Amino acid sequence: MFNNLSDRITASLKGLRGHGRLSEADVDKTIREIRRALLDADVAVPVVREFTGKVRERALGEEVSKALNPAQQVVKIVHDELIQVLGGATGELHWSKNPPTVIMLAGLQGAGKTTLAGKLAKWMKDQGHTPMLVAADLQRPNAVTQLQIVGERAGVPVFAPEPGNGVGNPVLVAMNGVSNAQFQQHDVVIVDTAGRLGVDEEMMQQARDIRDAIHPHDTLFVVDAMIGQDAARVAEAFRDGVGFTGVVLSKLDGDARGGAALSITGVTERPILFASTGEQLGDFERFHPDRMAGRILDMGDVMSLIEQAERTFDQAQAEKMAGKLASGEDFTLDDFLTQMQQLKNMGSLKKMLGMLPNMGQYREQLESFDESSIGRIEAMIQSMTPAERRDPKLINGSRRARIAKGSGTSVGEINQLLERFKQAQQMMRSMGGGMPGMPGMPGAG
Ligand code: GDP
């Protein structure tokens, strides 16, 4: 996400380096470049105008002229102002003191509401909440079934209309869903509503009727970041037609140019609370304006990376491994396999690596990174006998051929794996188990 925008803004800021003092012309040139990059990324014109105006004012002001390193000072100003454009402080949900907290989802058809409902529910469940989903999208064929599937994946109950009971009446279904959640003592209930392909009055009326019947504590407007410039216009229509308290940007994993993220808060004055970054339940994150600005400026987002790692890595597993190594036991191929599997859990490696600082320069290598190689490693290790996994020295030529055949790989790949494993093992020995690292990551290509 934001790759192109990020490359262009960082390139123009780099152009300032090496200048001791900055002239007005230097600043203006950089601002022009940033302005063009933002417009090309589909950021709404009034937002671009305000942003560049503020950056210019500050960059030509005392802040920079007195600074020891003017170029860095300009980077800081751009960073600060990007955070403001993205909403300033991280937005919060309005949790109700009298549960259940009612959250209504609104947005166009295909925006990603149903998918988001599952992601949000899982995220809440992981934090100890007891969410229930309500299928009040009766417009789209299969929407109810889709929500049921998503709910099952998330391990969260779904309230859906039973034949003969409120069928065809989404307001009734929503109301029944909320009272059911209350009765069953769920502390949060997420109501999925219908969208249309375009903004239309009937849909707005239905959303308003549902809103007035269930009094949501939060109405989240879900918008597909790929629709670019249209996002701001659709957001305005929903703000005026239904009203919402927060925004969720979906499909930020696609080649979204960033316009939606950078325009929506400025245009609607509502915070972006979450970002959806893929089709899987785990492809979901809180939206932190400061971290996102850091990503756009290629400063990296180490905080999000750590959080994702914490969510995914099994702490007990890691401690077990550390304890084992500390006690002098050797790192085996089974341990290697476990680490690889955890790595796979971490969702897209590319996404993860992209959160590290200064990765822009490695983008091409990252793009060519082949995650399926982890699946192959898994297959190879699983084709080994327990004795071989404990003691890879046993794996001679004929065993290599057998393992390659069993795993559908080649002897060359087995050789490569064993070589990588050896390096990982040496690294683990030298660390004495101090840190459950991620050795021997499969290389690019
Ligand atoms: P709804 O009509 O608003 O309920 O939208 P859906 O949840 O059915 O999503 C529409 C399509 O977008 C589905 O094919 C989803 O799998 C896909 N989708 C949803 N969120 C994301 C996302 O964050 N990234 C990607 N790549 N696809 C998504």
Residue 323, exposed/middle/buried by CB under 10 A (0-12, 13-18, 19+)?
Answer: exposed
Residue 395, pLDDT score: 94
What is the mean predicted confidence (pLDDT) over 342-367?
68
Q: Note whether 195 and 333 are same-domain residues.
A: no
pLDDT digit string, tens, across residues 101-142: 999 999 999 999 999 999 999 999 999 999 999 999 988 878
Distance in angstroms (rounded) separating the CA atoms of residues 364 and 368: 6
Question: What is the 8-class DSSP label of residue 116?
Answer: H
Strand 188-193 with 131-136, pairing: parallel
Residue 282 CB less than 6 A away from ligand 1 = no
Residue 108, exposed/middle/buried by CB under 10 A (0-12, 13-18, 19+)?
Answer: buried
pLDDT digit string, tens, across residues 366-382: 666 667 778 888 899 99
- Three-class secondary structure of residue 138 per DSSP: coil
Task: Assess if residue 206 is contained within a domain.
Answer: yes
Task: Assess if residue 111 is contained within a domain.
Answer: yes
What is the mean predicted confidence (pLDDT) over 236-255?
91
Q: How many structural domains are present in the chain? A: 3
Check which CATH number belongs to the domain holding 315 and give it.
1.10.260.30
Q: Find the 247 Cα to ligand 1 centroid distance in Å.
A: 15
Question: Within 13 Å, how many C-alpha atoms sit on residue 155's CB side?
Answer: 8
What is the mean predicted confidence (pLDDT) over 147-154?
95
Distance in angstroms (rounded) separating the CA atoms of residues 289 and 86: 5
Distance in angstroms (rounded) separating the CA atoms of residues 5 and 429: 43
Q: What is the ipTM of this complex?
A: 0.98
| CA 295 vs CA 79, 222, 277, 378: distances in Å | 10, 22, 14, 32
Task: Assess if residue 94 is contained within a domain.
Answer: no
pLDDT band at 17 (very low <50, low <70, confident <90, very high): confident
Choose which residue among 279, 287, 348, 350 to substitute to test ligand 1 binding: the one with the highest number of ligand atoms within 8 A of its C-beta: 279
Kindly provide the residue ranges of all beta strands, DSSP E only, lying in 232-360, ordered along the sequence.
246-250, 272-276, 284-286
- Phi, psi at residue 216, to the nearest 5°? -65, 145
Q: Note whether 324 and 273 are same-domain residues.
A: no
Residue where the block lists tokens 């972006």: 272
pLDDT digit string, tens, across residues 54-69: 999 998 887 777 776 7
Q: Note whether 140 and 49 are same-domain residues.
A: no
Stated pTM of the model: 0.74
Of residues 276 and 324, more confidence is placed in 276
Burial letters 380-394, b for 16+ CB under 10 A, else e: bbebbeeebbeebee
Q: Note whether 276 and 357 are same-domain residues.
A: no
- Phi, psi at residue 134, to the nearest 5°? -125, 125
| CA 147 vs CA 53, 190, 208, 217, 284: distances in Å | 45, 11, 21, 21, 17
Of residues 428 and 106, more confidence is placed in 106
Q: Note whether 142 and 245 are same-domain residues.
A: yes
Residue 345, pLDDT score: 66
Q: Find the 111 Cα to ligand 1 centroid distance in Å.
A: 6
For residue 134, what is the enclosing H or E element? strand 131-136
What is the mean predicted confidence (pLDDT) over 140-157?
92
Q: 357-366, 416-425, 433-442: which range is least confident on average?
A: 433-442
- Phi, psi at residue 279, to the nearest 5°? -90, -15
Task: Assess if residue 189 is contained within a domain.
Answer: yes
266 is in an annotated binding site: no
| Structural domain span for residue 339 | 307-431
What is the mean predicted confidence (pLDDT) over 27-48?
91
Residue 374, pLDDT score: 81
Strand 158-159 with 284-286, pairing: unpaired
Distance in angstroms (rounded) separating the CA atoms of residues 21 and 38: 26
pLDDT band at 436 (very low <50, low <70, confident <90, very high): very low
Domain boundary among 50, 85, 120: 85
Residue 315, pLDDT score: 67
435: pLDDT strictly greater than 60:
no
Q: Note whether 224 and 242 are same-domain residues.
A: yes
Of residues 167 and 300, more confidence is placed in 300
Domain boundary among 298, 325, 355: 298
Domain boundary among 85, 115, 145: 85
pLDDT digit string, tens, across residues 168-227: 799 999 999 999 999 999 999 999 999 888 888 888 999 999 999 999 999 999 999 888
Q: Note whether 243 and 362 are same-domain residues.
A: no
Check which CATH number belongs to the domain holding 200 and give it.
3.40.50.300
Residue 167, pLDDT score: 59
Q: Note whether 196 and 250 are same-domain residues.
A: yes
Q: Return the sign of the alpha-carbon dihedral for residues 260, 262, 267, 272.
A: positive
What is the mean predicted confidence (pLDDT) over 274-293?
91
Task: Assess if residue 217 is contained within a domain.
Answer: yes
316: pLDDT strictly greater than 80:
no
Residue 164, pLDDT score: 54
From edge to edge, which strands make up the β-sheet containing 272-276? 158-159, 131-136, 188-193, 101-106, 218-224, 246-250, 272-276, 284-286
| CA 35 vs CA 9, 45, 82, 258: distances in Å | 9, 10, 12, 14
Task: Assess if residue 445 is contained within a domain.
Answer: no
Q: Write the residue with the smallest CA distance to atom 5 of ligand 1.
A: 112
109 is in an annotated binding site: yes
Residue 339, pLDDT score: 77
Task: Assess if residue 215 is contained within a domain.
Answer: yes
For residue 126, what is the enclosing H or E element? helix 113-126
Strand 284-286 with 272-276, pairing: antiparallel
Kindly provide the residue ranges of all beta strands, DSSP E only, lying in 139-293, ordered along the sequence.
158-159, 188-193, 218-224, 246-250, 272-276, 284-286
Residue 118 CB less than 6 A away from ligand 1 = no
Residue 155, pLDDT score: 96
What is the mean predicted confidence (pLDDT) over 346-354?
66
Q: Tokens for 74, please give them.
A: 């300009």
Residue 347 CB less than 6 A away from ligand 1 = no
Q: Note whether 74 and 121 are same-domain residues.
A: no
Residue 212 CB less than 6 A away from ligand 1 = no
Q: Note whether 334 and 394 are same-domain residues.
A: yes
Residue 246, pLDDT score: 97
Choose which residue among 1, 104, 114, 115 to substitute to test ligand 1 binding: the one with the highest number of ligand atoms within 8 A of its C-beta: 115
349: pLDDT strictly greater than 70:
no
438: pLDDT strictly greater than 50:
no
Kindly provide the residue ranges of all beta strands, DSSP E only, lying in 197-347, ordered along the sequence.
218-224, 246-250, 272-276, 284-286
**Can you spell out the DSSP letters for 319-342?**
HHHHHHHHTTPPP-HHHHHHHHHH
pLDDT band at 243 (very low <50, low <70, confident <90, very high): very high
Residue 197, pLDDT score: 81
Q: Note whether 105 and 81 are same-domain residues.
A: no
Distance in angstroms (rounded) separating the CA atoms of residues 180 and 176: 6
pLDDT band at 443 (very low <50, low <70, confident <90, very high): very low
Q: Note whether 294 and 363 are same-domain residues.
A: no
Task: Assess if residue 157 is contained within a domain.
Answer: yes
Q: 65-74, 155-164, 276-285: which range is least confident on average?
A: 65-74
Q: Which of 76-90, 210-224, 294-308 has the largest mean confidence? A: 210-224
Please measure the distance between the N-terminal and C-terminal CA atoms of the chain and give it in whole angstroms: 21
Check which CATH number belongs to the domain holding 15 and give it.
1.20.120.140
Output the average pLDDT for the chain. Answer: 85
How many Å separate Cα 90 from the centre of its chain? 15
Residue 192, pLDDT score: 96
